Structure 1
């Protein structure tokens, strides 16, 4: 079965507000105040917790990678406690998923967010049951950009890895698809659309309305 696998953060949903809030709770706990803001740091937020902590600590003196590692569990706890105050699905995302399913495609999720957090978020958004699979950062011994992460999401969705593609928003997604030997479609409506185009994926989309046409051209 032809299969479309979606990244989560920055692709299906803008999670940057809740992620930054969790990171700032760590900084406040150290007496540093809020070191990140959504307007300027959303792109870093969508690259993960350690990237946010690293950026925040780069703005003050006296903190190094050891502190990033110490604070990371606290960030995950803070995020789990308040995972959906600001998160929104991107316009047209679920309509595109429904269209794909109606046309006979399997759909799933491959994310470098820990599986438990991804499950909790998708349940809270009320859309988890629309996806046949969800593979997180800790589901397997490997994660994106290892191709097995993508392949497992495809298999769990009941699809054929040779007839699949990955929809994402970062170099990690592009590299995952190349390592897997499948096409990538990168969205431009998240932070840094020019950077996305520079990654030279097989296709980009400016809105989920364009996805069906692109998918049909790439995998039939």
Structure 2
């Protein structure tokens, strides 16, 4: 029997998968609320919406506001968030060790996020990742973003590794939809952000992981070739 190995490449969503950025988002939302004489909201209320993007977080922060009015607040949200970026966020427990294990095994890793690329790129030096992250695709890098497969396809192309030899890890259904559409094996990260009605077991991920520490075990990482061979 061949010993389990890590994939040649691991691609990750950022917010809710590698980085617990909800505290930065909360600081942003509460600065906006304070400027409108509205009291602060709690992390518990905002957290389930973080992976859905700025518009979803604004809807949670200003639920009584008309949608068109909220839409006009997106630039303000992004400007304030850039000021709060990295001030309160932390890596999820086990992420640092997981990335070190991947690197030690010779695995290339990168980030594919729906966050605007300039914001995602700004966080890399704060984490010491500017030379470690082999590829970064943001939500505005290409003409499409997740759940479209193009960001994953381009990420694999840029690092020169076949899609069959990559695995994508994300905490949102769109991550798994993008993976499936690209033909890339996937892992659903249960430690991230999701709303109460969402059931990751229904997303169709190849593997479901409860904690980053589980990904220290190479046997947990799916391989497209193995999956095909098992069918």
TM-score (norm 2): 0.85
Query: Deviation digits for residues 92-111 of structure 1, max 9, x if unmatched?
Result: 21221222232232211000
Unaligned stretches of 5+ residues in structure 1: none
Equivalent of 1:48 in 49, 53, 62 = 53
Structure 2 equivalent of residue 165 of structure 1: 167
Unaligned stretches of 5+ residues in structure 2: 1-6, 227-231
Query: Deviation digits for residues 40-67 of structure 1, max 9, x if unmatched?
Result: 3211123211101112222x3xx21211
Alpha-carbon distance change, 182 to 113 in structure 1, aligned in 2, over 3 angstroms: same
Runs of 4+ in 1 over 4 A off after TM superposition: 216-220
For residue 162 of structure 1, give the secondary structure of its aligned residue in structure 2: helix
Q: How many angstroms does 1:216 deviate by?
A: 5.6
Asked whether the 8 Å contact 1:26–1:71 carries over to 2, the reply is: no
For residue 73 of structure 2, give the secondary structure of its aligned residue in structure 1: helix
Take 2:176 and 2:133, find their aligned partners in 1: how far apart are those partners?
Answer: 21
Query: Deviation digits for residues 79-130 of structure 1, max 9, x if unmatched?
Result: 1111112101112212212222322322110000111111111211222322
Take 2:74 and 2:117, find their aligned partners in 1: how far apart are those partners?
Answer: 16
Equivalent of 1:127 in 129, 132, 137 = 129
Equivalent of 1:18 in 16, 19, 24 = 24
Alpha-carbon distance change, 24 to 219 in structure 1, aligned in 2, over 3 angstroms: farther
For residue 169 of structure 2, give the secondary structure of its aligned residue in structure 1: strand
CA RMSD of aligned residues (A): 2.0
Q: How many angstroms does 1:149 deviate by?
A: 0.5
Structure 2 equivalent of residue 204 of structure 1: 208
Structure 1 equivalent of residue 115 of structure 2: 113
Structure 2 equivalent of residue 91 of structure 1: 93
Q: How many angstroms does 1:219 deviate by?
A: 5.9
Which segment drifts farther, 120-129 or 176-185?
120-129
Which structure has the highest helix share of the two? 1
Which segment drifts farther, 71-80 or 117-126?
117-126
Structure 1 equivalent of residue 229 of structure 2: none
Structure 1 equivalent of residue 11 of structure 2: 5
Q: How many angstroms does 1:218 deviate by?
A: 5.3
Query: Deviation digits for residues 144-171 of structure 1, max 9, x if unmatched?
Result: 1111111112222232123212100011
Equivalent of 2:43 in 17, 38, 43 = 38
TM-score (norm 1): 0.89
For residue 46 of structure 1, give the secondary structure of its aligned residue in structure 2: helix
Structure 1 equivalent of residue 67 of structure 2: 65
